[in-house]
Amino acid sequence: MSPLLPKTWVEVSRAALRHNALQIRQALGPKMVLMAVVKSNAYGHGIAQTVRAVRGQASWFGVDALQEALEVLKVAPRSKILVLGMTLPTWMSTAVRRGVRISVSSPEAARTVPRGAIIHLEVETGLTRQGVGERDLPTTLRLLKKRGARMEGMFTHYADIEDTTDHTYARSQLTRFRRSLQIAERVLGAPVKFPHTACSAAALLFPETHFALARVGISLYGHWPSKETLVSARGAKRVLALRPALTWKTTVAQVKSVKAGTPISYGLTERMRRAGKIAVLPVGYWDGYDRGLSSVGEVLVRGRRAKIMGRICMNMCMVDVSGIPGVRAGDEVVLLGQQALRPGSGQGRGEITAEELAGKISTINYEVLTRINPTLPRILV
């Protein structure tokens, strides 16, 4: 019996992921370690699929939780993995047994670390999130040493490196981080082996943030962290040819003719301006297609744009296909990504970007990608 075909699914381009990883690798230089950040279902792309595609370029993987680390190990059992988020004390022994690196971000967390744990200490430099402050740093380091932990790395996160072209604050954080490294060397009697601060924006813009390792997330998937980052990269002549790796697809469930003035969807919030055709799509906000796209979003049908009509439902939405000839049930629809026009039309292809969708719902491309429901199939193509 043939497997059930999905009605909504995500295609992930192996070639695009490998291309982006290679571009980033070359930008970082031969001495830098590349950590592919695959937390949050690899930014919506699927952990297993992404790891399979980039493990030849990335020797480390960054995750948010131990459960994600175990998913990586199924695909790449010899890889080095760092849990960037909190690890509950009850999970730490499993992390030690599986060789997974643990982040520690407070003196309290340091007190729960088991002997033999490989630790990367997160320090607070100005994000005001997780991280050990400079005042508590010596005490925390001594606690880790006393408990028999292996202090392998130290890291921080930048607070304002993506959303601006003025990187004064980021440079002040870098100064604080260097000071923390000096404190660590005095307490431990040796330099930290793997200091790291570089996210995608820092990795692409500022070589001085590289240290030993770069944690690259959004750019690995073919997206610039922000418009400001791209502007800064152009100014520094450090623009990479990134390729978006994800295409989100669904299928036309039904096509119906409707009269002018017919209300569409819940709340009667929008009506047909003229007689035409509506296509019903089996995808909604449960799938991660944001309700904020109601009446403003667009999808691709036969390579042409079709507007969302009325409110997006939990599992369905409707689009106006009046101007697209020949649409029928079973036609493939692109919610995010590219789609060619009808074969033989010679008119190229249409595209819906994560950045476009983010702009319509006042958010960022990160959220558009990561909120695609993780239960939807991810197919590596």
Instruction: Exactly one of 7, 31, 39, 221 is catalytic; name it.
Output: 39
Indicate if 285 belongs to the active site: no
Cβ atoms within 10 A of the Cβ of 78, count? 8
The DSSP H or E segment spanning 236 is none
Q: What is the DSSP letter of 303?
A: T
Indicate if 266 belongs to the active site: yes
Instruction: Exactly one of 249, 266, 285, 360 is catalytic; name it.
Output: 266
Cβ atoms within 10 A of the Cβ of 346, count? 7
Separation of alpha carbons 270 and 264, rounded Å: 6
Separation of alpha carbons 24 and 241, rounded Å: 10
Separation of alpha carbons 217 and 225, rounded Å: 9
The number of helices, as runs of H, and strands, as runs of E, in the chain is 12, 20
Separation of alpha carbons 356 and 243, rounded Å: 16
Separation of alpha carbons 214 and 242, rounded Å: 17
276: buried, middle or exposed (CB in 10 Å: 19+, 13-18, 0-12)? middle
Residue 299, CA distances (Å) to 84, 150, 166, 252, 265 in order: 35, 51, 36, 11, 17
- The residues assigned a catalytic role are 39, 266
